[in-house]
């Protein structure tokens, strides 16, 4: 395939909820399936490993000093991803073996913030198996703040992939105009938006971002059903008491640089969605509008981005 064409796979799957090892096994299977179809990029949903904190909205999660909430959170933390300890080594090895780039949504427990707090992170792994960026969600949404800490701008980065320049954001970050603009300014022309899973989230904003940026936009959502909760989950009876049959119905889709659908949101279908993108379409649509190029006024409006990784301490003389 020429450098102007890119074959992508949208992995719309359910996690083995709050089971890191089993969910990573499922991720590896999908990478191998995508490689067998000669895909060059595969994208997974927000926080897929080990899963979205669904209990927050269906239990009394804001109760102060509540033993049940603490025990569920501790189980979540134990199954979170610790990149520094090699949790993604096998994923990186598959990327290198198959020369496939990967965007993977994880719940990260990073050592550079003490190793206890959780961050909703989007990891980019390049075709050489190296981690290109770990973007920690800038602002967890509503009840997510009971579980996830706010991230920083360090991961606001883009990456070359053939003729494309790819970048990504987590869920409602995609509604943040300045976060999108930061990626546009870095040359993004293939935008990846990852979601926990709902057509209602992807059906409007995917096309809006595509039309605003004149880029391809891939939205990838997960699935989650009442039947997907493992039996060993702490306090499962309480979680299931007010749980709907479907918590995440997917909605993965692709919009073209003209803002029109290439693949409309796909609901309740598990598996890979595969399509080839043509970079020339980006150049065609930038002819009449380029949000950070000829249709911008940097003499009037500019964005300043702080990409320093935020830490609570620093060690001097080391």
Query: Is 302 inside any structural domain?
Result: no
Which pLDDT value is given to residue 312?
87
pLDDT tens readout for residues 128-141: 999 999 999 999 99
Residue pair 66/125 in contact by the 8 Å Cβ criterion: no
Task: Check whether 260 has a pLDDT greater than 80.
Answer: yes
Decide if 124 contacts 97 (C-beta within 8 A): no
Number of domains in the chain: 1
Asked if the structure places residue 209 within a domain, the reply is no
Structure tokens belonging to residue 46 = 């927000």
Phi-psi region of 217 (alpha: psi -120 to 50; beta: other; left: phi over 0): beta
Work out the mean pLDDT of the chain and round it to a whole number: 96
Q: pTM to 2 decimals?
A: 0.96
Q: What is the pLDDT of residue 78?
A: 97
> What is the DSSP code string of 265-306?
EEES--EEEEEEEETHHHHHHTTT--TTTTT--TTT------
Q: Is residue 233 part of a domain?
A: yes
pLDDT of the residue at 316: 75
CATH code assigned at 56? 3.60.110.10
Determine, yes or no, domain membership for 315: no
Dihedral sign for Cα 256, 261, 263, 265, please: positive
Give whole-number Cα distances, 84 to 39, 81, 109, 308, in Å.
28, 9, 9, 19
Structural domain boundaries, residue 150? 5-155+219-252+266-283
Q: Tell whether 150 is covered by a domain.
A: yes
49 in a structural domain = yes
d(CA 52, CA 56): 10
The pLDDT score that the predictor gives to residue 60 is 92
In a domain, 258, yes or no: no
Q: Say if 213 falls within a structural domain.
A: no
Residue 318: what pLDDT? 62
């Amino acid at each position: 395939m020429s450098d102007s064409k890119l074959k992508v796979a949208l992995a719309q799957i359910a996690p083995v909820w709050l089971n890191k090892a089993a969910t990573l096994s499922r991720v590896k299977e999908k990478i191998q399936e995508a490689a067998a179809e000669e895909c060059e990029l595969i994208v997974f949903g927000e926080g897929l490993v080990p899963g979205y904190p669904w209990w927050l909205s269906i239990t009394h999660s804001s109760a102060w000093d509540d033993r049940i909430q603490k025990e569920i959170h501790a189980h979540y933390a134990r199954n979170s991803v610790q990149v520094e300890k090699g949790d993604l080594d096998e994923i990186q090895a598959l990327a290198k073996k198959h020369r496939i780039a990967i965007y993977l949504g994880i719940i990260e427990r990073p050592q550079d913030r003490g190793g206890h707090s959780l961050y909703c992170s989007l990891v980019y792994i390049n075709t050489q198996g190296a981690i290109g960026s770990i973007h920690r969600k800038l602002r967890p949404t509503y009840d997510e703040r009971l579980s996830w800490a706010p991230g920083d701008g360090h991961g606001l980065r883009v990456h070359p992939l053939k003729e494309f320049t790819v970048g990504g954001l987590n869920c409602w970050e995609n509604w943040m105009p300045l976060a999108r603009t930061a990626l546009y300014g870095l040359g993004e022309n293939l935008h990846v938006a990852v979601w926990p899973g709902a057509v209602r989230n992807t059906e409007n904003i995917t096309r809006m971002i595509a039309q605003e940026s004149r880029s391809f936009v891939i939205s990838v959502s997960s699935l989650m059903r009442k039947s997907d909760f493992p039996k060993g989950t702490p306090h499962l009876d309480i979680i299931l008491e007010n749980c709907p049959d479907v918590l995440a119905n997917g909605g993965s889709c692709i919009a073209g640089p003209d803002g029109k659908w290439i693949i409309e949101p796909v609901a309740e279908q598990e598996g890979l969605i595969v399509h080839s993108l043509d970079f020339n379409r980006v150049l065609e649509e930038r002819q009449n509008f380029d949000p950070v190029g000829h249709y911008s006024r940097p003499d009037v409006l500019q964005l300043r981005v702080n990409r320093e990784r935020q830490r609570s301490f620093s060690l001097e003389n080391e």
